[in-house]
Amino acid sequence: MGRYTEIRSFVLIADKGSFASAAMTDGVTPVVMGRRLTALEKRLGVQLMHRSTRGLVLTDLGERYLEQCQQLIQDFDDAESNITARRRALTGHLVVSAPAAFGRRHVAPHAVAFQARYPDLRLSFNFTDSVVDLVREGYDMAIRIGEVSDPNYVAVRLYPNRRVVCGTPEYFERYGVPRVPEDLARHNCLAFNLQGGQQRGWTFVRDARPFAVRVRGSLACNDGELLYSWVKQGLGIGWRSSWEIQSELKHGELVTVLDEFALPNYDIQAVYPQQRYLPAKVRYFIDDLRNHYHEPAYWEEQRKF
């Protein structure tokens, strides 16, 4: 039994006037409250209360000790409230990394309203398709698309996502529809080059096992937004995230193929370093993004940056 528990119980007993009332307030039995008072008196070597059939009466020492204990309890509660309020307050600097196209369309547009709600918080973004080391490079959090396997990070799913092969209806009408991933060898696949970090090719799943298919095309780059534009122009087919093409799918501008081989659980996730206490600025920003992403028809809207 800790000193704080003993002192708090003594103050509560004195305030309520009986073990029964104090016990009801604290959610324990009267016997437990009596043991706490006895333990406190034994540790101090003095009697704080007279016990009788008529009730409980403070001794002279008990009265003086009660005043000091009440102030101690108040100081303790104030200190705890202050530190909790500081942890919850959205102040300081929030530094966020996100994929370039996703960040421009689905992170930055929500930052202005978020910062307006919390004007003491400064926001800083780095939109890049490179995977950054959050701790080494000083980021509070990142948005990642796909699996996060680093055990030093915590990943929070913001919205479900898949990687799919897509193209315009006109392209598939002209060149045919691939039925299995191996058919991609006969198609103009618009993919990242070596600098874009997709050296292994496009990844699919068959019989619950992932496998990669190397693809080739007439155009390649290291910019996802440019690949997305080329696919929409009908210049070839692409391997894109479902979040990126929902509006085009809804309006029939793009269609997907090889869906039965698509990678599952390629989700949009918020990632932050493992830590005992998550700063409020990170938690609030994650919650804000998740709320936006779950708004009805959010992903079907055309979004400009």
Question: Over the stretch 190-205, which tens digit does the pLDDT of each residue have?
Answer: 998 864 445 668 999 9
Q: What is the pLDDT of residue 196?
A: 42
Domain boundary among 39, 68, 88: 88
Indicate whether 65 and 209 sit together in one domain.
no
CATH number of the domain to which 194 belongs:
3.40.190.10
**Region 208-222 average pLDDT:** 91
**Region 234-251 average pLDDT:** 94
Indicate whether 192 and 121 sit together in one domain.
no
Residue 15's pLDDT band, with cuts at 50, 70 and 90, is: confident
Give 204's strand partners.
211
> Is position 192 within any domain?
yes
Q: What percent of the chain has pLDDT over 70?
A: 93
pLDDT digit string, tens, across residues 77-136: 878 776 666 555 688 999 999 998 899 999 999 999 999 999 999 999 999 888 889 999
Q: What is the pLDDT of residue 234?
A: 96
Indicate whether 119 and 31 sit together in one domain.
no
Indicate whether 239 and 289 sit together in one domain.
no
Indicate whether 23 and 66 sit together in one domain.
yes
Cα–Cα distance measured from residue 162 to residue 24, given in angstroms and rounded to the nearest whole number: 54
CATH number of the domain to which 31 belongs:
1.10.10.10
Q: Write the secondary structure of the chain as one string of H (helix), E (strand) and C (coil).
A: CCHHHHHHHHHHHHHHCCHHHHHHHHCCCHHHHHHHHHHHHHHHCCCCEEEECCEEEECHHHHHHHHHHHHHHHHHHHHHHHHHHHHHCCCEEEEEEECHHHHHHHCHHHHHHHHHHCCCEEEEEEECCCCCCHHHHCCCEEEEECCCCCCCEEEEEEECCCEEEEECHHHHHHHCCCCCHHHHHHCCECEECHHHCCCCCEEEEECCEEEEECCCCCCEECCHHHHHHHHHCCCCEEEEEHHHHHHHHHCCCCEEECHHHCECCCCEEEEEECCCCCCHHHHHHHHHHHHHHCCCCHHHCCCCC
> Is position 76 within any domain?
yes
> Is position 305 within any domain?
no
Indicate whether 155 and 280 sit together in one domain.
yes
Q: What is the pLDDT of residue 87?
A: 52
Indicate whether 77 and 19 sit together in one domain.
yes
Does the pLDDT of residue 184 top 70, yes or no?
Answer: yes
Strand order in the sheet with 238-241: 238-241, 163-167, 255-257
Indicate whether 129 and 65 sit together in one domain.
no
State the total domains in the chain: 3
- In which domain, by residue range, is 198 found? 163-261
Does the pLDDT of residue 304 top 70, yes or no?
Answer: no
Q: Which pair of tokens denotes residue 216?
A: 């080739």
Are the CB atoms for 221 and 193 separated by under 8 Å?
yes
Indicate whether 84 and 17 sit together in one domain.
yes
Q: Which pair of tokens denotes residue 262?
A: 């698509």
